[in-house]
Amino acid sequence: MKLRTGFRSALAIAVALLVTALAVVGSASAAAPTVTGTVGPSFKISLTRGGKNVTRLMATTYSFKVADKSSGHDFHLSGPGVDKVITGVGFKGTKTVTLRLRRGTYRYFCDPHSSQMHGSFRVG
């Protein structure tokens, strides 16, 4: 009887370790791809992925990491299901948000200077 109880305990521990390992691997592979935004310090705004300007993305969830280099600008992203000011006027630094993008056209811009600081991309 003792052997059976010991075997069950060892089996339960092994199963628990396997479940934990699978959860860690699953969460690592489920990490959202990163898109990098930059605004300022001059009148420039950009959105890149892998060092290239973003013109098209697939419909999925992305991590938007935005470096705001001027407290006089903001980084606003707008499109189907999204209207998010990622960094506000008065903020200087880096912020990261996770957003789900759907099919359509998205615009990014600086609210106070939207006529000169803007860009767009399509999601398909």
Which pLDDT score is estimated for 56?
98
Burial of 25 (0-12, 13-18, 19+ CB in 10 A): exposed
CA–CA dist 22, 15 (Å, integer): 11
39 contacts 8 by C-beta, under 8 angstroms = no
- Could you read off the pLDDT of 64-119 as tens digits, one per residue? 999 999 999 999 999 999 999 999 999 999 999 999 999 999 999 999 999 999 99
Pairing of strands 118-123, 56-57: parallel
Q: How is the chain split into domains, by residue range?
A: 1-31, 34-123
CATH superfamily, region 34-123: Cupredoxins -  blue copper proteins (2.60.40.420)
